[in-house]
A and B are shown apart, each in its own frame.
Chain A
Amino acid sequence: MIEISPRFFRHSPSLLARTAFFVMLSLLLMALDSRSKYLGGVREIFSMIVYPLQKLAHVPMSMYDATSELFQHGEIAEENARLKQQHLVDKGQLLRLRALEAENTQLRKLLNATQRIENKATVAEILRVPHDPFNRKVLLDKGSMAGVESGQVVVDDIGVVGQVTRNYPLASEVTLLTDRDHSVPVQVVRNGLRSVVSGTGREGVLELRYMAINTDIQEGDVLVTSGIDGIYPPGLPVAAVSQIERNPNYIFARITCTPASGVNQNRQLLILSARAPRAGTPAEATKMKPRPQEARRQ
């Protein structure tokens, strides 16, 4: 039975059959990955293989940083002086903030309201911006070993960047605001109007969907997180309205916004680690909302 035909007649499955097998396998994987959660473990194992390579690919960047720092001594001194000044200014504000926080907790106690948990934050660096036009995601170099969980909010120094959607032991995946499947509940600073801003899948473009034509919204309006979802802490800047198209033929206005934060500009991001508690009623959230825009201008 074994080896009846001579060795040179033995065929492996035909090329087409092998290709078909692998095509089927990848289609199956795609279906599994998009419809269910079974592949989490597999992903984790693969991520451990890829992680050293990603680190290695990052080496030129960090070397460039190190060498450029070597040559920019003067600039650094200048920057240091400027930062010290900034630090002083910030410290003054922080003192005021502490006083306000203490006052706030006292008032909340009086009101018997839920205590706000202080947000702690982890600084993480962008490990990789995928060369992939299909999804707006970045990889950060902190993972579940550093206490990062999926669902946490990621911000930079200006505003919201996105949300951790997957975490591996040593890295985590952040879905950016501009991802097509990503939405953030927001509020217009000017008049407190609440809405949900969604990504479009294009870089630097967000959209306010399902807003009636006669909605009171203007170009240049600043949107901040409203905090009513219980995930995003209220008051973080998200975007500014860049263009409004009011076409009477449609029920809804086309409102496009530009995100406040720039993932392309900075490499360090902040992962807010504590989830904000549910902010009572929406009306209360509006009242309690700090105004970051004003705070920064002072």
Chain B
Amino acid sequence: MLSLIVALLLNLIPLTGTVRTLQPDFVALVMLYWYVNEPQRVGIGMAFWMGLLMDLSNASTFGQHALGYSVMAFMALVFNRRMGIFEGYKQAPQIGLVLLSGQIVTLLAGLFAGSPFPGWNFFLGSIVGMLLWPLLSAILRVPQKPWSASDAR
């Protein structure tokens, strides 16, 4: 999936200072988009592998992000039905919740591995991610427009 590679690139952009604390986890966002909109085509395995890639590029303990992403994927698949009811920006709070719980799992994994508590700024990323959700889902929908129109979704 090309979108995931682009998201990984966005995550890898070297940033510093305030922008870096605000940088949302693009990989998680794009992944959630696919889990919400195409649950049949993506499995939890994908989240796991993307998590491993993130672990490697972050130089963190192997499996830490993989764990967080797997849990996020699970939640997205469970919430999948409920998401269908909401349209566009109304999905954002739910996504925020999923992102936040994913981050909490990653944080707990980090704490068990012996890292110190990173501070409350850590959670700003998922709030920014929540705010970005409508925009992102609009962008990801663009290439599929003709197809989904005929599909009468």
Contact = CB atoms under 8 A, between A and B. Distances in A.
Interface stretch (A55-63, A185-193, A272-280): A55-63
Contacts of A33: 61-63
> What secondary structure prevails in chain A residues at the interface with B?
helix
B124 to A, nearest CB: 11
B53 A49 contact: yes
A202 B56 CA distance: 21
Given A23-B67, A23-B70, A53-B9, A39 B16 contact: no
Given A29-B66, A30-B109, A133 B119 contact: yes
A24 to B, nearest CB: 10
A264 B16 contact: yes
Nearest to B43: A18
B70 to A, nearest CB: 4
B33 to A, nearest CB: 18
Contact of B20 (A26, A131, A173): A131
A235 to B, nearest CB: 29
B92 interface: no
Contacts of B48: 22, 25-26
B12 A54 contact: yes
Contact of A201 (B14, B43, B64, B116): B116
B44 A131 contact: no
B110 A47 contact: no
B52 interface: yes
Contacts of B109: 26, 30
A103 B51 CA distance: 56
Given A132-B60, A134-B115, A26 B9 contact: no
Interface residues of B, number: 49
A32 interface: yes
B52 A46 contact: yes
A133 B118 contact: yes
A60 B9 CA distance: 11
A32 B14 contact: no
Which residue among B13, B110, B122 has the maximum number of chain A CB atoms within 10 Å of its CB?
Answer: B13
A137 to B, nearest CB: 4
A93 interface: no
Nearest to B78: A15
A202 B115 CA distance: 11
Which residue among A34, A39, A135 has the maximum number of chain B CB atoms within 10 Å of its CB?
Answer: A135
A32 B64 CA distance: 12
A71 to B, nearest CB: 22
Interface of B: 5, 8-17, 20, 23, 43-45, 47-48, 51-53, 56-64, 66-67, 70-71, 73-74, 77-78, 109-110, 112-116, 118-119, 121-122
Interface of A: 15-16, 18-19, 22-23, 25-30, 32-34, 39, 42-43, 46-47, 49-50, 53-54, 56-58, 60-61, 126-135, 137, 139, 166, 173, 180-181, 200-202, 264
7 contacts: A26-B66, A26-B109, A46-B56, A50-B57, A53-B8, A126-B14, A133-B115
